[in-house]
């Protein structure tokens, strides 16, 4: 598998359609700029859909990739190592924030187990049937996964994107369910942005104290030493310091862009995968929105590198796609306003013919 092939497969959203949408916006009854970023969102959605005005977002889907990371054994996370299964179970039981919001907004949730460290029998078969491997290696001292497993995870993400596009999903809210996932995400972003561990290391969605933060910084530092020699190959990079869930999300983002399927990104894990995908295909970020500011410094660096401006900054750090799902009503509102506000036609002012003889008479007066 050569991820660079995606560069030829991904096209930008239709620029001509976007210009048509901008021109139509100039004719609406509400003056341009009065709706703030909703104008920009409506125009982006028109270009992504190839339609002016944009169609309503009628079949969104929350897609969550799940995995456990071996580096969590170093106590770098606010959750116990191997606890990804409990996160998944909370979503399936409707007891997590993303599940509550999805239920409120009537948006279905799909959970994909790419690398949980638990017995498959503990979760429904439709969740676990795609698992690539059980957990990951400790990225500070060993590879997260093999190259073959990385390829399998990328292919999994590609297949999930195709399934969603073929089923009629018209927008995806993308998130992760992971324990220890922010550590490999921070490592990937630091490697790709050329920064040090302390610059990108945050306290994760579960929150950690100062000692755990220092352990996390050390883990990212050591993982960076292993990542830098393979920066030229995205496949090897994901094998060294990623994981099956991160590789699957990367494949999903690339194939979603091929299929012209818009995606709202959530937190630092999604941002890391997006940055890897951008390295493979520079047009891909045109199909993504940044849903929210997660508070993770690595996310801010990645979004800045991709020129993605988050829609929300509400201090939501729980992860799991929650912040991205909170941004979905804004996208739906932008589509409705762009489509339903009336156009105003300005009548051409009538002009009175000039009496040339009167002008001459006045001049000769």
Active centre residues (catalytic): 320
Give the span between the Cα atoms of 256 and 92, in whole angstroms.
Answer: 24
Selection from 53, 31, 33 nearest residue 44 by Cα:
53
351 three-class SS: coil
178 three-class SS: strand
- What are all long-range contacts of 78-81, with beta carbons under 8 Å and residues at least 24 apart? 78/203, 78/204, 78/205, 78/206, 78/207, 78/208, 78/212, 79/179, 79/206, 80/179, 81/117, 81/179, 81/180
Give the span between the Cα atoms of 116 and 84, in whole angstroms.
Answer: 6
Q: How many residues does the chain have?
A: 365
Which two three-digit tokens encode residue 229? 């020699």
Query: What residues form DSSP beta bridges with 177?
Result: 66
Phi and psi, residue 343, nearest 5°: -80, 145
Buried b (16+ CB within 10 A) or exposed e, 41-50: bbbbbbbbbe
Sign of the dihedral through C-alpha 180, 181, 186, 192? positive
Residues 6+ apart with CB under 8 A from 219: 71, 74, 76, 139, 140, 183
DSSP letter string, 211-226: HHHHHHHHHHHHHHHH
Cis peptide before 53 (omega within 30 of 0): yes
Contact 268, 185 (CB under 8 A): yes
326 three-class SS: helix
């Amino acid at each position: 598998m050569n991820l660079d092939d995606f560069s030829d497969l991904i096209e930008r959203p239709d620029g001509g359609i976007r210009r048509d949408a901008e021109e139509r916006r100039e004719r609406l009854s509400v003056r341009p700029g009065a709706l703030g970023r909703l104008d920009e969102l409506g125009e982006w959605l028109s270009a992504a859909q190839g339609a002016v005005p944009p169609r309503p977002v009628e079949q969104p889907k929350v897609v969550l990739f799940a995995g456990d990371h071996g580096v969590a054994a170093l106590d770098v996370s606010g959750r116990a190592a191997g606890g990804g299964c409990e996160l998944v179970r909370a979503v399936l039981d409707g007891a997590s924030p993303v599940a509550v919001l999805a239920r409120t907004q009537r948006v279905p949730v799909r959970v994909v187990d790419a690398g949980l460290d638990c017995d498959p029998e503990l979760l429904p078969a439709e969740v676990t049937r795609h698992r690539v491997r059980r957990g990951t290696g400790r990225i500070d001292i060993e590879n997260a996964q093999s190259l073959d497993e990385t390829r399998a995870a990328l292919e999994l993400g590609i297949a999930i994107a195709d399934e969603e596009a073929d089923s009629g999903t018209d927008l995806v809210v993308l998130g992760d369910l992971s324990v220890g996932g922010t550590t490999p995400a921070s490592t990937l972003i630091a490697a790709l942005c050329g920064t040090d561990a302390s610059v990108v290391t945050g306290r994760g969605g579960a929150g950690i104290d100062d000692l755990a933060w220092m352990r996390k910084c050390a883990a990212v530092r050591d993982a960076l030493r292993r990542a830098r020699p393979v920066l030229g190959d995205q496949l090897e990079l994901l094998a060294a310091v990623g994981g099956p869930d991160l590789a699957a999300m990367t494949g999903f983002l690339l194939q979603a862009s091929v299929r012209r399927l818009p995606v709202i990104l959530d937190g630092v894990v999604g941002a890391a995968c997006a940055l890897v995908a951008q390295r493979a295909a520079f047009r891909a970020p045109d199909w993504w929105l940044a849903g929210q500011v997660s508070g993770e410094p690595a996310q801010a660096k990645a979004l800045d590198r991709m020129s993605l401006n988050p829609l929300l900054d509400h201090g939501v750090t729980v992860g799991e796609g929650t912040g991205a799902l909170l941004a979905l009503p804004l996208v739906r509102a932008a589509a409705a306003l762009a489509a339903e506000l009336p156009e105003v036609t300005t009548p051409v002012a009538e002009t009175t013919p000039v009496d040339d003889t009167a002008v001459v008479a006045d001049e000769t007066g």
